[in-house]
Amino acid sequence: MKKRILFPLTAIAISLSANVLAGPSSESRSIEAQTNEAIGFGSGAVAGGLVAGPIGAIVGGIFGVLIAEDVNNDNALEASEQELAKTQSQLSRQESQLLALQKQYEQVQQQSKVQLVALDKEIERVMQEMESNIQFRTASYVLESHFKPQLNLLAQGLNNNPKLVVSLSGFADSRGDDSYNQALSEQRVLSVKDYLLSRGVKEEQVLTLSFGETQPVSAQSSSEDFFFDRRVLVRVAEGQQSMTASNL
């Protein structure tokens, strides 16, 4: 008699397990999870039927499903932990790569600083050796536009090297009155100085001198010689370097 009841209960248990797992949520579960729940429900139902009859089969089946869910949860947790470990490993590699790139960047920065220091020293050396003339028209102290690019470079060098000083010496040719030529040489120096100051050069970096007609380039008195006398001589040096100046 018990055997007759047992076989129908087993069939009912399997049928119930199929119905439980056939709901809408079964589509979102993995095949492995569905299999575990089916086995759990069927095994629980059979065991429950053997012990406590039809009611026991139903209760056993429910407990079987719960046990299967625990197994599935454990499997899902293990898979999540493996995925997390994989992600952490990737992050660790990326962090190592980032640290290596940062180290390379710092090395490049340090090399750039060394190169810039060397470049600044070279610019400073070249500027200290620089000597040039700004020429003027007869009886004029107007700064000609074609000399401005030269003065722009000079201003940039002085701005980048605050310890450098430029000395401006004004001259005039021998034509005309001595006092007029002296005043003209002073005005020429002021024209160059004002332009440098307008380009951001500090006033303490500019020293001015004026000599009028007292220091001609040549003893000749031709028009060509007069051209070279109408000038402002530009010299760059470090600090005062024994230069005597009268700031106008």
Distance CA 6, CA 207 (A): 118
pLDDT by 10-residue block (mean), the chain, 248 residues = 46 48 49 58 53 54 59 70 82 82 80 63 55 93 95 93 93 92 96 97 96 84 81 86 44
List beta partners, residue 133. 233
Q: pLDDT value at position 43?
A: 56
How many residues does this entry show for the chain? 248
Domain parsing of the chain, residue ranges:
1-127, 130-238
| Contacts (Cβ under 8 Å, ≥6 apart) of 24 | none
What sign does the dihedral 114-116-119-121 (CA atoms) show? negative
CA angle, residues 221, 226, 232, in degrees to nearest 5: 140
- Write phi, then psi, for 164 (nearest 5 degrees): -85, 150
Helix (H) or strand (E) run with residue 170 in it: strand 164-170
CATH class of 130-238: alpha beta
| Contacts (Cβ under 8 Å, ≥6 apart) of 41 | 13, 16, 17, 20, 21, 61, 62, 64, 65, 68
Helix (H) or strand (E) run with residue 19 in it: helix 2-21
Residue 245: DSSP 8-state: -
Per the confidence metrics, is the pTM higher than 0.75?
no
SS3 per residue for 203-221: HHHEEEEECCCCCCCCCCC
Q: Which of 70, 69, 53, 64 is nearest to 17 (CA)?
A: 64
List beta partners, residue 209. 169
Helix locations, 22-133, DSSP H: 31-128
Q: Which pairing describes strands 164-170 and 206-210: parallel, antiparallel, or unpaired?
A: parallel
CB atoms within 10 A of CB 109: 10
Q: pLDDT value at position 144?
A: 95
239-243 long-range Cβ contacts below 8 angstroms, 24+ apart: 239/163, 239/165, 240/165, 241/165, 243/165, 243/167, 243/207
CB atoms within 10 A of CB 187: 17
Q: pLDDT value at position 179?
A: 95
Q: pLDDT value at position 200?
A: 96
